Structure 1
Amino acid sequence: MNEAIVDDLIERPAHYTQHPSGIECIDITEHMSFCLGNVIKYVWRAGLKGDAREDLKKARWYLDREISRLGG
């Protein structure tokens, strides 16, 4: 596989850059806790790699974990 293609798949996969704002999700989530960052990531990219419902269920799982972490 061409090295440039491999780099694109690792550093800038298409689903990372498809948001209409042009902003990459990591630019926002790197300022959050791990769980909250994952909530945003799964909502941000819901459906871009597969089943949107699955992505939203993953987001909910991380949100529930963050709520538990905070003692709720």
Structure 2
Amino acid sequence: MTDNVNHPQHYKGNGLEAIDVIEAFGLGFYLANATKYILRAGKKTEDPSTDIKKAIWYLNRFLEGRKDGKPAE
């Protein structure tokens, strides 16, 4: 049985879940979300383009925050 709330298949790979990687590396909000979208690219939908574009969006937000002198999350 699939558990789409606690352990969605599109966030799993080789025994790891995206949340495990995010927590292990202590990623902040923007980098965590970018990582999540990269890791699920091509798994939730057939075309990975949308997930990769969303990851880039989060990475750009991360860089914009650093450029403005704000602490990166």
TM-score range, shorter chain: 0.7 to 0.9
Aligned length, in residue pairs: 65
Greater share of residues in helix: 1
With normalisation by structure 2, the TM-score equals 0.78
State the distance in 2 between where 1:44 and 1:14 align: 11
Say which SS state the counterpart of residue 11 (structure 1) adopts: coil
Q: 1:36 aligns with which of 18, 31, 35?
A: 31
Q: Which structure 1 residue ranges, 5 or more long, are not aligned? A: none
In angstroms, what is the RMSD of aligned CA positions? 1.6
Q: Given the alignment of the two structures, is residue 55 of structure 1 paired with residue 51 of structure 2, yes or no?
A: yes
Q: Given the alignment of the two structures, is residue 16 of structure 1 paired with residue 15 of structure 2, yes or no?
A: no
Q: Which structure 2 residue ranges, 5 or more long, are not aligned? A: 69-73
Q: Which has the higher contact order (CA 8 A, sep 6+)?
A: 2
With normalisation by structure 1, the TM-score equals 0.79
CA shift at 1:16, angstroms?
Answer: 2.1
CA shift at 1:24, angstroms?
Answer: 0.8
Greater share of residues in strand: 2
Amino acid at match of 1:41: K
Amino acid at match of 2:31: L
Deviating 4+ runs (over 4 angstroms): none
